[in-house]
Chain A
């Protein structure tokens, strides 16, 4: 397809007081594509993620999302383009109900009445009806994670960025999350940072491997898994 990529990054470099967390990363994501980012701790996945979401301003390089240059733009502006974001640490409004959390996400780009409907639909889709009016602080971690998926969905995003969506979930909940992500992917392009290789295999075709702030390789999941360098990186062997 000749259409412009949904997400493009050119030469993204991020330095923190002498430490180079990310060096000259190029990245493209096509429409409806689902890409997983993997790599050992400190490889730069989350830093790259933050450069895309606007939580970090890259030291060098450019990021374009949905045809807009977003380098240096604040996160709310980037989110407002139609980008749904889930951060590594679960981030929800603890003292509010599941419905209110999801409503607020829907309200950003819709009038209140439409937001009511989107919130109700989203709660149905995620089968959260029974806990819709429970305060999130009272829910288990897995349910809260589901609500956060709901928050992302309710924004009706065209690009979804998830940082470690499977972290802390039980085996059943992981299966559930895989289903939800596949469903999300029907309407949006996705970038997912994840450690859990079972999870990555289940959802991704192409994966990008980060190592020491650079893109080590970008290939089909099977190719990556059988690559000796990647294995060494993951097992932490010194060459």
Chain B
């Protein structure tokens, strides 16, 4: 296990690389969406890989965050003021949904199905809000066409300079890095260790005296908050939000990202989302094979051949080599100590 200091240094290095090196190879204005996807995958990886809560409908919180941001920007007339709502509203929604599932003692599979149904209900509902009557403080929900044309985030202090292209991309990368490192710190805290314990054995955790319903609800709400932020990032970049964000396609894709990247690794989720999001973008440029077919095929391949995902496998591989060489070093120094002791005794 890396200590937090080492992890912090690595986070900074990867962040700087993402800001200064990656844009040499990809177009940041086009690919900012990958950072939003990565944030959603991170949130899903946290509740699923760490907290053990399988959620098929992380898009519910993603979409709610996007809508909260768009509506907030219109109603408040200020995108920055809308941003907190895009985090708080999905978090409260997730807390409510989580409390219902966990205090109601739904089994894992039922919970997962409930989350999927919730996102599909939101999808259907938002699609049906085209009429004039569907407004919130004067802002129209827009039905199938969603909400276009709200003001996006701007350079602080000068409301007319909208953030876009490399600065927006960089800002989102920093947000993602903060979220990632924040979760790493959380996982090292007592709370984090307890939720991992609950994932490992709910009955044991309960018999130790932990109220697993409460811990799981809080974990779920944290995931909801981050997914909401991801949704706001998406809406800000796309400059519109439509009910599609609640749809089955994105819900399924987010699961695939986490599986391919490796559900036991938070960083794996980021890599999975960015890599597969980019792959999808490139595949979208060709007409030969349907995109979802490839995504589905990838999922099957990974579940069969690499069930733990890319990042944990690589980490084990490199970690194993590193540990082996470290062990060899320790052993040889141990031998040296015993040899020295033997020599001293002999004298």
Contacts and interface: CB of A to CB of B under 8 A. Distances in A.
A155 B204 contact: no
B194 A87 contact: no
B193 interface: yes
A108 B209 contact: yes
B208 interface: yes
A86 to B, nearest CB: 8
B325 interface: no
B293 interface: no
Interface stretch (A4-12, A18-26, A96-104, A228-236): A96-104
B209 A112 contact: no
Given A79-B209, A105-B208, A155-B208, A91 B194 contact: no
Contact of B197 (A76, A79, A96): A96
Interface in B202-221: 203-212
B252 interface: no
Contacts of A104: 193-194, 197, 205, 208, 210
Contact of A87 (B190, B203, B212): B203
A76 B196 contact: no
Contacts of A77: 209, 211
B193 A95 contact: no
A80 B207 CA distance: 8
Given A91-B203, A93-B200, A94-B200, A103 B208 contact: no
Contacts of A80: 209
Nearest to A94: B200
Contacts of B204: 91-93, 101, 151
Nearest to A81: B209
Interface residues of B, number: 17
A80 B206 CA distance: 9
A208 interface: no
Contacts of B194: 104, 107
B300 to A, nearest CB: 26
B190 A76 contact: no
B197 A100 contact: yes
A105 B200 CA distance: 14
A101 B201 CA distance: 10
A107 B190 CA distance: 8
Contacts, number: 63
Contact of A93 (B190, B197, B209, B212): B197
A183 B190 CA distance: 29
B200 A95 contact: yes
Contact of B201 (A76, A91, A107): A91
Contacts of B206: 74-76, 79
Interface residues of A, number: 26
B173 to A, nearest CB: 32
Contacts of B205: 93, 104
B207 A93 contact: no
Given A87-B203, A92-B201, A100 B193 contact: yes
A209 interface: no
A112 B203 CA distance: 22
A96 B196 contact: yes
A155 to B, nearest CB: 6
Contacts of B190: 107, 112
Contacts of A76: 206-212
A155 B209 contact: yes
B34 to A, nearest CB: 31
B205 to A, nearest CB: 7
Interface string B167-207: 00000000000000000000000100110110011011111
Nearest to B212: A76
Contacts of B208: 76, 79, 104-105, 108, 151, 155
Nearest to B196: A96
A109 interface: yes
A206 interface: no
A104 B208 CA distance: 8
Interface string B82-93: 000000000000
A123 interface: no
Given A91-B203, A92-B204, A109 B209 contact: yes
A115 to B, nearest CB: 8
Contact of A79 (B196, B200, B207): B207
Given A76-B207, A79-B207, A101-B197, 8 more contacts: A76-B208, A76-B210, A77-B211, A80-B209, A93-B197, A96-B197, A108-B208, A108-B209
Interface of B: 190, 193-194, 196-197, 200-201, 203-212
26 contacts: A74-B211, A75-B207, A76-B209, A76-B210, A76-B211, A79-B206, A79-B207, A79-B208, A87-B203, A91-B201, A91-B203, A93-B204, A94-B200, A94-B201, A95-B200, A96-B197, A96-B200, A100-B193, A101-B197, A101-B204, A108-B209, A108-B210, A151-B204, A151-B208, A155-B208, A155-B209
Closest 7 CB pairs of A and B: A93-B200, A79-B209, A80-B209, A108-B209, A85-B207, A104-B197, A91-B204
